[in-house]
């Protein structure tokens, strides 16, 4: 391999690697918008390294994409969309081989500017291929652009992945014409479709039937339970939310993580003593600490409330080749709270909060404070603020906290980087 090819390979590998980091970062508990901006700049720099090497660089990226490297699919998609050339067909064929690879293409669509690729997105939205239609609708929704008539036509499909993404798009865009389609899928036999229909109906329309389904999903457990619990708690008034999660989600150990999620989302400081109790349970401790931070704004590590990792506790994959647990630790990058230290801290601080009032990172959930959280919070907190703002502004699209950092800065009126993350995170 020549020197130039080696450099191209390095750029291609860095793009794929940084994309995988970005996928984790956009929903990470320790990442702020400032961190995302820096990561995106690094991605852009490596893309420049690929662009200046022309055809040979694209061949290398294509080879990696064809081998099933999802990060390379993202890179190939961006390059193809930017040049609007025949590479699009190759990327579509590659990405549609399996839904996981399609995620790389959808991310590429979201990375590019909308106007230059608008016609491509519209063509995908109108495709007869359900996989291509899903990519088009997802791409339009990520840019918060309406897919047009194809949105409602998609509800005629029998393909669960397309139906689920269409429901999600309706919720993200607050698309009123999709309300009937969403309502018709609340009883879908497919769990992902049923959840996304309930999510969209609850978020965009405050639909009572959708909210009821969402609550049952939270109570039943499974991969959607925590997210369902959060949105349900946000749509219920504080008293009803507290009654619900305390009576329905704390009654079984398997529901406790959903209960913690609901308590943090509801934002009522009356839940803090219960959250402190959960900090004594290793499998719940870090998530309870995060819920406390959501409500009060306290930082477990930087405010000296951090304890030690329990001896012998394991979560996520380890070095044992015989261990079948390959799932990533869902609480990775969350600090371990010290229940005793938190109890003492709360004894001093509890008087600063009013039970029955909803808080997000220590501030009552006013429009102004939610907009502030969107600017300065960590990614999960920012996502919460975006949902709360969407609920308060019916008909307005959900702010996309996963979008390119520079676009978010522009939308938020942040002309220069003013945040200095306390995490010291670097990419």
At 79, the pLDDT band (50, 70, 90 cuts) reads confident
At 85, the pLDDT band (50, 70, 90 cuts) reads low
DSSP secondary structure of 166-214 = HHHHHHHHT-GGGHHHHHTTTT-SSHHHHHHHHHHHHHHH--HHHHHHH
pLDDT at 317: 47
At 95, the pLDDT band (50, 70, 90 cuts) reads confident
pLDDT of residue 93 exceeding 80, the answer is: no
Q: What is the mean pLDDT of the chain?
A: 90
Interval 94-120 mean pLDDT: 88
Which residues share a beta bridge with 32?
A: 378
**Residue that wins the pLDDT comparison between 420 and 375:** 375
pLDDT at 344: 98
| Least confident window among 82-86, 137-141, 357-361, 409-413 | 82-86
Domain ranges of the chain: 1-144
pLDDT at 64: 80
pLDDT at 323: 41
pLDDT of residue 367 exceeding 80, the answer is: yes
Measured torsion, CA atoms of residues 139, 228, 338, 247, in degrees rounded to the nearest 10: 170
Name the DSSP letter for residue 419. -
What predicted TM-score, i.e. pTM, was given to this entire model?
0.92
224-279 pLDDT tens trace: 999 999 999 999 999 999 999 999 999 999 999 999 999 999 999 999 999 999 99
207-222 pLDDT tens trace: 999 999 999 999 999 9
304-360 pLDDT tens trace: 999 999 987 877 544 444 444 445 788 999 999 999 999 999 999 999 999 999 999
Q: How many CB atoms lie within 10 A of CB 228?
A: 26
Note whether 358 and 385 are within 8 A (CB): no
pLDDT at 316: 55
pLDDT of residue 422 exceeding 70, the answer is: no
Interval 275-288 mean pLDDT: 97
At 50, the pLDDT band (50, 70, 90 cuts) reads confident
**Residue that wins the pLDDT comparison between 70 and 390:** 390
Q: How far apart are CA 300 and CA 302, in angstroms?
A: 6
pLDDT of residue 372 exceeding 90, the answer is: yes
DSSP secondary structure of 332-389 = TT---B-HHHHHHHHHHHGGGS-TTS-EETTEE--HHHHHHHHHHSBHHHHHHHHHHH
- Residue 356 has phi, psi (to 5 degrees) of 90, -15
**Residue that wins the pLDDT comparison between 64 and 177:** 177
pLDDT of residue 387 exceeding 70, the answer is: yes
Q: How far apart are CA 32 and CA 156, in angstroms?
A: 39
**Residue that wins the pLDDT comparison between 20 and 62:** 20
Helix 33-51 crosses helix 54-66 at what angle (to 10 degrees)?
120
**Residue that wins the pLDDT comparison between 70 and 381:** 381
pLDDT of residue 426 exceeding 60, the answer is: no
At 299, the pLDDT band (50, 70, 90 cuts) reads very high
């Amino acid at each position: 391999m020549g020197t130039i090819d080696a450099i191209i390979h390095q750029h291609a590998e860095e793009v794929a690697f940084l994309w995988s980091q970005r996928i984790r970062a956009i929903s990470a508990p320790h990442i702020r918008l400032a961190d995302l901006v820096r990561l995106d700049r690094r991605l852009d720099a490596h893309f420049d390294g690929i662009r200046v090497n022309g055809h040979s660089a694209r061949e290398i990226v294509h080879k990696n994409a064809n081998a099933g490297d999802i990060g390379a699919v993202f890179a190939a998609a961006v390059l193809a969309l930017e040049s609007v050339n025949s590479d699009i067909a190759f990327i579509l064929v590659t990405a549609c081989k399996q839904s996981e690879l399609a995620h790389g293409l959808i991310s590429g669509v979201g990375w590019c500017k909308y106007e230059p690729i608008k016609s491509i997105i519209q063509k995908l939205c109108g495709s007869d291929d359900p996989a291509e239609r899903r990519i088009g609708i997802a791409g339009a929704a990520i840019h918060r652009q309406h897919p047009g008539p194809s949105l409602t036509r998609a509800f005629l499909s029998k393909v669960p992945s397309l139906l689920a993404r269409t429901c999600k798009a309706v919720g993200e865009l607050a698309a009123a014409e999709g309300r009937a389609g969403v309502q018709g899928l609340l009883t879908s036999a497919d769990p992902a479709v049923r959840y996304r229909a309930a999510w969209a109906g609850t978020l965009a329309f405050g639909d009572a039937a959708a909210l009821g389904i969402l609550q049952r999903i939270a109570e039943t457990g499974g991969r959607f339970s925590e997210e369902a619990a959060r949105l349900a708690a946000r749509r219920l008034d504080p008293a009803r939310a507290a009654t619900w999660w305390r009576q329905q989600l704390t009654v079984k150990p398997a529901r406790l993580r959903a209960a913690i999620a609901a308590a943090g989302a509801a934002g009522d400081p009356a839940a803090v003593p219960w959250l402190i109790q959960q900090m004594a349970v290793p499998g719940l401790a870090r998530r309870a600490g995060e819920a406390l931070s959501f409500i009060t704004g306290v930082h477990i590590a930087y405010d000296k409330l951090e304890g030690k990792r329990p001896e012998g506790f394991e979560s996520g994959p380890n070095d044992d080749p015989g261990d079948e647990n390959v799932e990533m630790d869902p609480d990775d990058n969350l600090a371990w709270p010290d229940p005793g230290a938190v109890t003492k801290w709360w004894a001093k601080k509890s008087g600063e909060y009013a039970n029955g009032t909803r808080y997000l990172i220590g501030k009552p959930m006013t429009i102004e404070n939610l907009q502030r959280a969107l600017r300065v919070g960590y990614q999960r907190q920012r996502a919460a603020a975006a949902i709360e703002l969407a609920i308060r502004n019916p008909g307005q699209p959900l702010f996309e906290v996963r979008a390119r950092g520079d676009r978010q800065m522009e939308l938020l009126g942040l002309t220069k980087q003013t945040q200095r993350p306390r995490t010291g995170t670097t990419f």
